[in-house]
A and B are shown apart, each in its own frame.
Chain A
Amino acid sequence: MQTIDITLTVNDQQQTLPVKSNDTLLEVIRDYLDLTGSKEGCGEGVCGSCTVLLDGHPVRACLTLALEADGCAVTTVEGLADEDTLSPLQQSFIDHGAVQCGFCTPGMLISAKALLDENPSPDRQKLRQALSGNICRCTGYAKIVDAVAHAARPESGCPDCHTKDSGGDHD
C-alpha cells in the first residue's frame, strides 16, 4: 500500500513518518515509534487503554487515523515524566496504590491529565465521570479516584490519602 508522509510532534519531538492510509494513530505510536505504553485493549474505542492527547485533547488512538493527526502534537504516557522525574499525577498513582496490573494505567493517566489541565480542582463526581471512558478491571477505581483527587489538591490534606503518614517508613 502507498504511504503518505505525515508530521507528528510526539512528546515534544517532531517527526516525519511515512504511514499507510489505514494506519491508526495507535499503530503508528506503538509499531513505528515503539512507544508501547499506549495499549490496545479492545480496538473499538471502549476500554480507553489507548488514550493519548492530540493537541491537548484526549482521543482514542485506536479509532484515530494517523492521517487525521498530521501536524498535531501527541502526548503519550511516555511523555508525562520529565526524564526520570515523575509528574505529580504519576507519583500520586504510585503513592495511592492506584496501579495493579497496570494495563489501563497509561490511558487512565492521560485521561486524568486531560481533566486536570481543563479543570484543576474537580470534585469526586466530576472526576469519576471524566475517568469513565477508561476501564479498569483490577482496582474498582477507588484508589485511582483517590490518586487523581490528591494530585489535584495535594495541599488540601486528601482525607483518603494515608500514604504520607507512613509511606516509605522502613524504620
Chain B
Amino acid sequence: MTDYSIIGKRMPRVDSRAKVMGKARYTADLKLPGMLVGKILRSPHAHAKIVNIDTSKALALPGVKAVVTGADTEGVKWGVFAYTRDQQFIQTEKVRYIGDEVAGVAAVDEETALAALDLIHVEYEVLPAVFDPMTAMTTDAEPIHEEFPNNINIHVNIDTGSVDENFKKAYYIREDTFTAPEESYFHGEPYAVAARFDADDCLEIWMPNGGPHMKSKPLSNAFKIPLHKVKVRKITIGGAFGGRSEICPADYICALLAKKTGCPVKIVFTREENTIATRQGHAMITTHKTGVDKEGRVLARETTCYMDGGAYSSTGPIATSVPFLSMEQAYRMESVRYNGYRIYTNKPIRGMIRVHGRGFACGLDTQLDMIAEHLGIDPVEMRLRNSRQPGEFTSTGSQVWSCAMDETIKKAAAAANWHEKFGKLPPFHGIGIGTNSVQTGFPMGIRGGSQSFIKFNEDGEATVMSGVVDNGQGNENMLVQIAAEELGLLPEDIHLVSADTETTSSDPGSYSQVSTFVGGQAVKNAAANCRKKLFDVAAKILKTDPDKLTAKNRMIFVTDHPEKSVSIKKTVRVALLNFTSVNAEGGYWPRVDMKREWVSNPYGQMCEAFSFGTTIIEVKVDPDTGQVTVLNAVACQDVGKALNPLVLEGQFEGSVAMGGQGGMLTEYHDWREGRCLNPTMLEYKVPLACDMPEITGIIVESVDPRGPYGAKEAGMSIAMSAAQAYAGAVSNAIGVYMDSFPLTPDKIVAAIREKRQAVK
C-alpha cells in the first residue's frame, strides 16, 4: 500500500479554528455599507390566479426603497433541465403553493420591510387545489401546469426486459406497498442571500449553495447578463444535505432589489421560510413486486413509485430516478421494470435530500426480510445472496469497478453480533440490517468536470484555486490534504481559494457526492503538474533527473539519496529568478456515458464509482408507548479510500442521526390543505444528543481504480442504509413488518395492538 504523508491521516479540519472562535462568517452575518433588508411576500393560497397587484401603498411607506413583482422580471422560467423549465422566480399569473413568491420589498430595516409586505394588495382568484399525487393524476383534477397532462411532471421508465418471463420462473412472489410522507432538511443555517451590483454592473452575491457555478448560470439567464458579470462569492455554509443545490427565487429577488435600489440587499429566511420555500424531501408511495428462487435470489422485480413533487419540477428527473438507482446498485436485479412518476401537487417544492427515497428503500429492504422469513433465510444471508459484486454491471448498464458490499455486510454483522442476536433477543427487542449504494456523481453535462489552478508564492507556499464548495462536510480540508500531499507541503502551507465563480473554473458542485472524486481529482492533477515543474527546476539544482525526485515535508530530495535535497521554497525562488513558471492547472472529467439521460435514455455509465454501505441497528420498543430506544448502531461503508478517517466517521455518525434516528422515527411533515403544520424546529422533531446512541463506524476500503487515491462517495450510503436498518429493527422488535414510515409511536402501538387482536 502506498505510504502517504497526509492522505489517510486523522487530520483535524482546516476550517474548524475559525468556526470554534465564532469568526466564520455565514451569509446572515454579512454587513455591507448601506445594506437594505429584503423580505418576500408569499402566496397565502395553495392555488390561485393573480388578478392584480397594487404596490402603491407599500412604496409610499417611509423607509421603503423598492418593491418588485413579476412585472419587474424578464419573465425567465427556471428548470434544472430544458424540459422542466416551469418556475418563475416571482409569479406573474398564478401561484401554486402556500409560500410561492409574489413580491419582494427592500427597506431600511426589518420592521419597515415587514410593514410594507402588509401594504401590498394582491387580488387573487382562488382555484381548486390538489394535495395528494393520486388525486392529482385523475382526469378531473385541476391542472397545475397546463403543459403537463394529469399533473404528471416526470415519468421515468426503466425496463431491462424478461421481467414477466422471470416472474413465471419464480418460486415465491410478493407484492407490497410502502409509504412515507415528506421530510425536511432543517439545516442549522436558515437560508440567506446578500447581493449588490458593483460599479461595472456586475452582480456580486453570497448565499449557501451546493455549487457556486450552479447558481451563477441561472442568475445570468434571469438577468440576461453575461456569465462573467455574475460573481457568486464564497461564504461559510451551514449545511446543505441536498437542499442548497438549485437557484432559489430569493437569490433572484434579492439581486433584483439590489439592482433597483442601487444598494446592497440582504434577505434572511425565517425558519418557517427555510422549510417551506427552499426544498423538501418527496413523499412517496412505492409498490415493490419481487420474485425469488428457492434460495432467495431475486429473479424479477417490478417497482412503481408515485412521488409527490409539489408545485414545480426542481430536480424532478433526478429525484424520480435516484431511489431506484441506489437499489439497483446495491442489489443485483438483472430483470427489473421501474415506473417512477413525479406528480405535481399544490404543496412546497420537493428536491434532493440526504436520504432520498426512504420509503422506497425501506420498503425494498423490509420486503427482502419478509421473503427471507418465508424462505427461512437469515436477513444477512439474504443480502449476501443478492448483493452487488465488483466488476458487474447495474441493470441500467453502469459498470461497478470497485465494490466491497459483501465486506460491509459481514463486518457490520460481526461488529453488531448479528448471529448471536437475530431471532434470539427478548420480546420487543429487535435487530435490523440495511444496505444501500450511492452514486459518486450524476451526469452533469457541460458542468460535469472540474478544473483547478495552483500558483506558488515566493515563500514556497501555494495557492490552490478550485470551484469546489464546502457545505460543512469537509471539502475544503479534502482539497488542502490532496494539494499538500501532491506538492510535498504541509496543510498549513496551502491557501485555498474556492467556491467563487469569478476566480475559479467550472465545477459540478457538491450535490451529487462528487466533490472528492471530480473536484479533488482536479486539484490532484493540477498539483501533480505543479510538482513536475518544480522537479524540473530542482533536478538542475541537485544535478539529477526529475524522475528520481520525491517531494515531502517542504523538501525535494533524491529518492534514493534523501540527504541530497533542496527546499521547495528555494526551488520556487530559483524558478522565479530564471523566469520559469512553476504554476500549473489540472482538471478532471468523469468518464460517463454522455448519452445517458434521466428520462429519454436512462441507460449507460451513470458515474465512475459507487459507494456501498451497511448499517445494523438494535432497538428495544416500549409496547405501551411505542417509544423506540436504540441500543446499538453499527455503520460500515466502502468509501474506496478514507482520505481522512476523522472526517468520514463524522459523516457516518451524522448520517445515522439524520437517516435513521430522525428519518425513521420522528421526522415528517403534517399538512392541512397544502399548509405545512410543522414548519418550525419546535414541532418538527430532529434528533437531540440525548436521543442518539453511541455509534460504531467501520471504514472499508476497496480502493477504487479511478478515484483519487481510490476514494469515492462517503457517508450517504450510511444515511440511506441507516433508515433501512431502523425500519428492520423496529419491525423485528414488534414482530410486524411496517409499511408506513417513519415509525412513530402511534403507528407502532397500533401495529402491536392489531397483532394482539389477530392472535386472539
Contacts and interface: CB of A to CB of B under 8 A. Distances in A.
B188 A136 contact: yes
A136 B681 CA distance: 12
Given A36-B22, A41-B189, A86-B20, A100 B650 contact: yes
A86 B21 contact: yes
B12 A95 contact: yes
Interface of A: 30, 34-44, 46-47, 49, 76-78, 80-81, 86, 90, 93-97, 99-106, 109, 127-129, 131-132, 134-145, 162-163, 165-171
Contact of A44 (B29, B185, B682, B692): B682
B663 to A, nearest CB: 12
Given A97-B649, A170-B5, A142 B692 contact: yes
A87 to B, nearest CB: 9
B31 A166 contact: no
Given A142-B695, A163-B12, A101 B238 contact: yes
Nearest to A30: B29
Interface of B: 5-6, 9-13, 15-26, 28-29, 31, 185-190, 236-239, 241, 270-271, 471-474, 484, 490-491, 553, 646-647, 649-650, 653-658, 661, 680-682, 686-692, 694-695
Given A40-B28, A100-B654, A171-B553, 18 more contacts: A36-B29, A41-B271, A42-B271, A44-B681, A46-B680, A78-B22, A86-B20, A90-B21, A97-B12, A97-B649, A99-B16, A102-B20, A137-B188, A137-B654, A137-B657, A139-B653, A139-B657, A140-B653
A170 B9 contact: yes
Given A40-B28, A100-B474, A137-B187, A105 B19 contact: yes
Contact of A145 (B21, B28, B188, B689): B689
B689 A170 contact: no
A102 B26 CA distance: 10
Contacts of A144: 689
Nearest to B662: A137
A102 B12 contact: no
A44 B657 contact: no
A78 B24 CA distance: 11
A41 B31 contact: no
B20 A138 contact: no
Contacts of A35: 22
25 contacts: A39-B238, A41-B681, A42-B682, A44-B271, A46-B681, A49-B188, A80-B20, A93-B20, A94-B12, A94-B13, A94-B20, A97-B649, A100-B474, A101-B237, A102-B19, A102-B238, A109-B20, A128-B689, A129-B689, A135-B188, A137-B654, A140-B687, A142-B695, A143-B650, A166-B10
Contacts of B28: 36, 39-40
A142 B647 CA distance: 12
B505 to A, nearest CB: 25
Could you say which of B647, B658, B694 has the most chain A C-beta atoms within 10 Å of its C-beta?
Answer: B694
Nearest to A77: B22
Nearest to A111: B689
A129 to B, nearest CB: 5
B20 A99 contact: yes
A42 B690 contact: no
Given A97-B650, A170-B6, A170-B491, A141 B692 contact: yes
A49 to B, nearest CB: 7
Contact of B23 (A37, A46, A136): A37
A54 B239 CA distance: 28
Contacts of A103: 26, 187-189, 238-239, 472
Contacts of B5: 170-171
B24 A102 contact: yes
Contacts of B236: 101-102
B9 A169 contact: yes
Contact of B688 (A36, A127, A135, A168): A135
A106 B606 CA distance: 40
Nearest to B239: A101
A74 B11 CA distance: 33
Contacts of A132: 688-691
B21 A77 contact: yes
B20 A39 contact: no
A47 to B, nearest CB: 5
Question: Taking each of B473, B657, B695, which has the highest tally of chain A beta carbons within 10 Å of its own beta carbon?
Answer: B657
Contact of B553 (A43, A44, A170): A170
B689 A138 contact: no
